[in-house]
Amino acid sequence: MKVLILGATGLLGKALVREWADDEVEAMGSRDVDIRDAAKVRESVENARPDWIVLAAAYTDVDGCESHRELAFSVNRDGAVNVAEAARQAGARLIFLSSDYVFDGKKTSPYEVDDKRNPQSVYGHSKAEAEIRLQEILPNCCIARSSWVFGVGGRCFPDTILRLAANRPALDVVNDQRGCPTYNLDLARAIIQLCRKDASGMVHVTNAGDCSWFEFAREIVTGAGLATEVRPVSSQQMARPAPRPAYSVLSATSLRRYGVEMPGWKDALGRYLQECKS
């Protein structure tokens, strides 16, 4: 199998490049191809002639998207459309990385793949519109929604907590937003399996279990052996430019249909902390 990874220098892209073995893999970052450039995307796909394209390139700064709406849609929606059009012309399969932020967070039980989209942020809107367009262009594409992605080698929540905890006696972290932390290496391994299983349609891909940001932070600090106090606060007390869903836990039902199981998020965090040390 020949695979083209777009967004290879991002948090997930690096993990995909590291984990993918036994297939022919070509990896491109934004310096190699800007997905907003339709002609360049088409040329890159034609040259690579892949069986699968993994689209991990995105503008993921959720708060930044609020003040840079045009950029968010040009990358996350229009860029994805460019890749889908190129995939269709080349006869390649496509797996697109989407987000739990396509939901409004008003449920109290895990979101299934067919639950209604109702994004509350610009980032969420850009991803939701991309999903709709991609399914129109490539009905057999695979859309893999994930959440709270973390890993070594890029900006992520645990990295921020560890940096702040090293210099502060206490940290305030929101306790009224709940989701599924997802380790980039586990996410990469699941995506590789989905491609090999010829997956299509919507799939939710996260580590097992869920928590609040406060619970996540407390586990990070404890696991790192730090003495920093982690204090729960409300979202109102920690106002951010972009609204976040209060509950965006993703159901694993769609992933299990492909026989793929993800480790628990606490297990994943332990491995992340070990990787940080090494």
CA distance 206 to 184: 10
CA distances from 115 to 22, 29, 140 (A): 36, 32, 19
Q: What is the pLDDT of residues 192-220, one digit of tens each?
A: 999 999 999 999 999 999 999 999 999 99
Q: What is the pLDDT of residues 108-123, one digit of tens each?
A: 999 999 999 999 999 9
* Torsion sign (Cα): 105, 150, 181, 145: positive
Q: What is the pLDDT of residues 6-18, one digit of tens each?
A: 999 999 999 999 9
Instruction: Say what the pLDDT of residue 172 is.
Output: 98
pLDDT score of 153 more than 90 = no
- Name the pLDDT band for 25 (thresholds 50, 70, 90): very high
pTM of the model: 0.98
Q: What is the pLDDT of residues 160-180, one digit of tens each?
A: 999 999 999 999 999 999 999
CA distance 187 to 200: 17
Domains of the chain, CATH where assigned: 2-147+183-207+249-263 (3.40.50.720)
Instruction: Say what the pLDDT of residue 154 is.
Output: 87
pLDDT score of 239 more than 90 = no
Q: What's the 3-state SS for 256-278? A: HCCCCCCCEHHHHHHHHHHHHHC
CA distances from 273 to 98, 103, 109, 266 (A): 26, 30, 29, 11
- Name the pLDDT band for 128 (thresholds 50, 70, 90): very high
Long-range contacts of 232-239 (CB under 8 A, 24+ apart): 232/172, 232/173, 232/174, 232/175, 233/172, 233/173, 233/174, 233/175, 234/174, 234/175, 234/176, 235/174, 235/176, 235/177, 237/172, 237/174, 238/172, 238/173, 238/174
Q: Which of 130, 151, 132 is nearest to 58 (CA)?
A: 130
C-beta of residue 23 within 8 angstroms of C-beta of residue 3: yes
Instruction: Say what the pLDDT of residue 219 is.
Output: 98
254, two tokens: 């769609």
- Name the pLDDT band for 241 (thresholds 50, 70, 90): very high
C-beta of residue 142 within 8 angstroms of C-beta of residue 94: yes
Q: What is the pLDDT of residues 43-80, one digit of tens each?
A: 999 999 999 999 999 999 999 999 999 999 999 999 99
Mean pLDDT across 179-191: 98
Mean pLDDT across 22-42: 97
Mean pLDDT of the chain: 97
Task: Give the angle 150-155-159 at the CA atoms, nearest 5°.
Answer: 70
**What residues are annotated to the active site?**
123
